[in-house]
Amino acid sequence: MVNQEHLKRVREIISDMTVEEKVSQLTNDAKRIPRLGIYEYNWWSEALHGVARAGTATVFPQAIGLAATWNVELMKTIASVISEEARAKYNEFQREGDRGYCKGLTFWSPNVNIYRDPRWGRGQETYGEDPYLTSRLAVAFIENMQGNSEHMKAAACAKHFAAHSGPEQGRHSFNAVASEKDMRETYLPAFEACVKEAHVEAVMGAYNAVNGVPACCNSRLLKDILRDEWGFEGHVVSDCGAIEDISENHKYAPDKVHAAAYGIKNGCDLNCGTMYELLTDAYEQDLVDDNDLDLALEHLYLTRMKLGMFDESTEFDDIPMSVVACEEHKKLSLEAAHQSLVMLKNDGVLPLKKSGVKKVAVIGPDCDNEEMLLGNYFGTPTEFSTPFRGLREYLDGAAEVECFKGCDFFERDEKLLAQAVKAAEEADTVILCLGLTSDYEGEECDAFNPFQAGDRTFIEFSPAQSELAEAVYEKNKNIILLSFGGGAFAYKENADRARAIIHCWYPGEQGGRAIADVLFGEVSPSGKLPLTFYKGTEDLPDFLDYSMKNRTYKYFEGEAAYTFGYGLSYTEFEYGTLSVEADDDKARISVAVKNTGGFDAFETVKIFRKEKIQLANQPLKSLIRFGKEFIPQGESRTFTFTIPKEESFRINDEGKKEYISPAEFDYFFEK
């Protein structure tokens, strides 16, 4: 509920503003109003996997890597650390009088869009392809970013609302056509959880149109669903430049003044950009009125009020800069990287033994690439642990460790190839590091690549890297493949020729150390895939088609290379019989899991369901619960879950919930 005292104070402030002053507060770079004692404030800050674009910070694995941990408690701790560093940096910026870009407390994170297609370059920012997994991780992130104190510690923002997951090329004019069923079953649930459960402070509108109406002036999304149906009380911000798109690219408004008016009248409170400066003209033309301006300002100023920006002090003012990138936070980044690594294959070669290696060749364009650690939207770490550096540090002279690029990411280089092949021939162990960096996949404005403005056109490794791999396989049979990227790869022949495969995502500043620890058995891998790894690009539907038919594990009718939730361990877990007690009120599910192998390790239990009588146009199966526990050798843990009747429904073709008895589902786990 809105704090009435805050609302009273906000309305008093707004009542003293002129129209021009009101308008000056509605862009991300809000201006100073000296006569009212209001400082300038830039609303644009980022914190996707650490405080970003504002100097030194702890850099955690990219969001998709955090999703691969399947660890809600870990996500809570990471979000708390990010908000602590955010406040420390904000305090320092305030002391310096620096109120510029990325120096505030309103963070445009997390990205809760659904990673529906592995070619989408920004999929790396998400928590994967499943609405339930996404919502659990997003709620944990938001609650712990925002905190539970007298003042809000930092404001989170769920983006991009809605049905936004590529293409990057043409995103400013693209119209996502999605059925009501797909909207309610796939594209909206995570946003709903962010609003209803986590009380997220902000929601960002998308660039694209949704079923013909630009998202940032879409009253059905921003008013009917977000505020009226879900009860959202925070503020809505446009993606950067999205208001201008309303007229200039979507051609939905006749000119820029009308575009600005459409935005604010239909529920977009804040413009990232300068278009809302035209609201003065819109006001003079009677396209908007004081009520439109005042309502947007109320939403915005309530956020600033919650953050303590109009109070003399807050409980966070004494958080020092010494917490930023401190050793404790680095250890947390290392732990997150450990848990994010997903082992896809192991013929028994792993874990390696220090005594068993004498000469290690680390080969590939990602072998010593600092940018690969970071993904996009990142801060500046105080150190970079690449695969090469991590292995060299771990072995510490016990074995010779050398690094050879072998090729550029997309270009063959005969000299580099010859060096790598010679090294592979002479080494007893080869660590082959293939994949991408965010230079080649990411946001339209950030990626410079041979693909489509940040999206991939294929999910296989590039021809240059495939040629490198083939040449190395011919010289050495003891090859461990590490893949790096923000999404799925099709491994093709690598799946047969590599002895082990670990997918490492963009693993953060401590990535190399984490990789070394896992390769040598200091830590058992526990990451699980948060998205489907397909056999090849040919398995994917048209990228522009927003229908969920034949997409993600819930609807894909083919055979995946590695399924959603897949990930190997060094130990063995024995599952007991699944106990299910279901009636019309709830389903209670439990299963005992015992670590029967030789390593202490984490295990993730994943509970799915499907209707006993499978209807047409319904998911093949759906994740409904998961839990992750550390289980020492020889010990057991019992996982128990309760699913209330409120969650027992299907979505029909009209997008409506049809409630059915929890007893009408089959429940099962997948290891």
204: number of Cβ within 10 Å: 25
Side by side, the strands of the sheet bearing 665-669 are 622-631, 601-611, 665-669
- The answer to whether 539 is a known catalytic residue is no
CA-closest candidate to residue 69, choices 328, 375, 337: 337
Distance CA(107)–CA(144), nearest Å, equals 13
Cα four-point dihedral sign 280, 175, 555, 442: negative
H-helix or E-strand spanning residue 416? helix 414-426
Q: CB of 232 within 8 A of CB of 226? A: yes
269: number of Cβ within 10 Å: 25
Distance CA(20)–CA(331), nearest Å, equals 49
Cα four-point dihedral sign 273, 279, 282, 287: positive
CA-closest candidate to residue 476, choices 459, 444, 493, 499: 499
H, E, C per residue of 74-108 = HHHHHHHHHHHHHHHHHHHHHHCCCCCCCCCCEEC
Distance CA(3)–CA(5), nearest Å, equals 6
Q: Catalytic residue among 182, 298, 441, 444, which?
A: 441
Q: Catalytic residue among 185, 192, 239, 335, which?
A: 239
Distance CA(598)–CA(573), nearest Å, equals 10
Q: Are strands 209-210 and 157-161 parallel, antiparallel or unpaired?
A: unpaired
Helix runs in 287-413, H state only: 290-306, 327-340, 387-395
Burial of 96 (0-12, 13-18, 19+ CB in 10 A): exposed
Distance CA(463)–CA(411), nearest Å, equals 8
Task: Report whether the peptide linkage leading into residue 61 is cis, meaning its omega lies within 30 degrees of zero.
Answer: no
Rg (CA), the chain: 25
Which residues share a beta bridge with 380? 56
- The answer to whether 125 is a known catalytic residue is no
Distance CA(401)–CA(360), nearest Å, equals 5
Helix runs in 520-669, H state only: 552-555
Q: CB of 206 within 8 A of CB of 160? A: yes
Distance CA(429)–CA(241), nearest Å, equals 50
Q: CB of 339 within 8 A of CB of 524? A: no
One-letter amino acid at 462 equals: S
Q: Are strands 400-404 and 359-363 parallel, antiparallel or unpaired?
A: parallel
Give the catalytic positions in this structure.
Answer: 239, 441
